[in-house]
Amino acid sequence: MSPIEKLLLENKAWASEVKADDPGYFERLAHIQTPQFLWIGCSDSRVPADKITGTQPGEIFVHRNIANMVVHTDVNLLSVLDYAVTHLKVQHVIVCGHYGCGGVKASMTNHDYKYVLNMWLRNIKDVYRLYADELNAITDMENRADRLVELNVKEQVLHLAKTSIIQRAWKKEQRPQLHGWVYGLKDGIIKPVFQMDAGAQIDPLYQYDDL
Ligand code: CO
């Protein structure tokens, strides 16, 4: 059996197992989804949002990209954010990075990853530049990369707060709460590193006053 055939076979086995456990399961979920959480995570295959948080289908709305970035020109991310916040009315937006992130490590090198990846990694280099003094003082390269993972998560949460989508929801509905987390590949534990409640102070330069 080919690996792709195995996926489809495993899917059938999973579906019948779920149905045997709870006959109304798929019918219920097909009608509506009311997730409370939006997850912005890394595409890394070792960080599956639902598995590591024990959430079920229907509970968590997910967007993943390399190094869990919130890029202001990324129409994909912004569409997911707008839909989750404005329409699904999620209570929490979580940016979850992970230690040992390949994207973050790649951004710390001078290697030419060619056009598209260079463009994406530049966003992480920009975070490094903001915290260069602190990061350059860390001599162990693995520790330095792990600290950049934490700082990157914080910066991406700040990027969320700079969007009119979040600012409007904060002003009109006092939600969502924003969270910056880092997942440990070595122990499976999530460490919260940053949080912003609805209405939190942000740099006035980025505040919209006519929402
Ligand atoms: Co990663």
Residue 72 domain-assigned (yes or no): yes
Give the pLDDT confidence score for residue 32 in this predicted structure.
80
Asked if 114 and 177 sit in the same domain, the reply is yes
Check: CB of residue 136 under 8 Å from CB of residue 145.
Answer: no
Q: Ligand 1 centre from 101 Cα, in Å?
A: 4
Asked if 50 and 113 sit in the same domain, the reply is yes
Q: Ligand 1 centre from 120 Cα, in Å?
A: 13
Asked if 112 and 133 sit in the same domain, the reply is yes
Residue 100 domain-assigned (yes or no): yes
Asked if 106 and 144 sit in the same domain, the reply is yes
How sure is the predictor about 60, in pLDDT bands with cuts at 50, 70 and 90? very high
Give the pLDDT confidence score for residue 45 in this predicted structure.
96
Asked if 130 and 57 sit in the same domain, the reply is yes
Per the structure, how many domains does the chain have? 2
Asked if 41 and 19 sit in the same domain, the reply is no
Residue 25 domain-assigned (yes or no): yes
Q: Ligand 1 centre from 44 Cα, in Å?
A: 5
The structure's pTM equals 0.95
Residue 150 domain-assigned (yes or no): yes
Share of the chain above pLDDT 70, in %: 100
44 belongs to the catalytic site = yes
* Active-site residue (options: 64, 72, 74, 101): 101
Token digits for 3?
């690996």
Starting at the edge strand found earlier in the chain, the sheet holding 60-65 runs 60-65, 37-42, 92-98, 177-183, 190-196
In the predicted model, what is the mean pLDDT of the chain? Answer: 97
pLDDT digits (tens, 9 = 90+) for 178-204: 999 999 999 999 999 999 999 999 999
Segment 102-116 shows an average pLDDT of 97
Which residues lie near ion ligand 1 (Cβ < 5 Å)? 42, 44, 101, 103
- Judge whether residue 160 has pLDDT over 90: yes
Asked if 50 and 154 sit in the same domain, the reply is yes
CATH at 187: 3.40.1050.10
Asked if 27 and 56 sit in the same domain, the reply is no
Check: CB of residue 158 under 8 Å from CB of residue 75.
Answer: no
pLDDT digits (tens, 9 = 90+) for 61-98: 999 999 999 999 999 999 999 999 999 999 999 999 99
Backbone angles phi, psi at 94, to 5 degrees: -115, 125
Asked if 98 and 18 sit in the same domain, the reply is no
Q: Ligand 1 centre from 96 Cα, in Å?
A: 10
- Judge whether residue 205 has pLDDT over 90: yes
pLDDT digits (tens, 9 = 90+) for 93-102: 999 999 999 9
pLDDT digits (tens, 9 = 90+) for 25-46: 999 888 888 999 999 999 999 9
Residue 189 domain-assigned (yes or no): yes
* DSSP-derived secondary structure letter, 137: T
* Active-site residue (options: 28, 46, 72, 122): 46
Asked if 60 and 18 sit in the same domain, the reply is no
Parent domain of 82: 35-200
Give the pLDDT confidence score for residue 184 in this predicted structure.
98
96 belongs to the catalytic site = no
Q: Which amino acid is at 23?
A: P
Asked if 112 and 167 sit in the same domain, the reply is yes
Residue 208 domain-assigned (yes or no): no
101 belongs to the catalytic site = yes
What are the b/e assignments for 68-93, b being 16+ CB within 10 Å?
bbbeeebeebbebbbebbeeeebebb
Q: For residue 53, give Cα distances in angstroms to 12, 38, 48, 76, 83.
A: 24, 12, 9, 24, 22
Q: Ligand 1 centre from 56 Cα, in Å?
A: 23
Asked if 51 and 107 sit in the same domain, the reply is yes
Q: Ligand 1 centre from 61 Cα, in Å?
A: 19
Q: Ligand 1 centre from 98 Cα, in Å?
A: 6
Residue 181 domain-assigned (yes or no): yes
Residue 165 domain-assigned (yes or no): yes
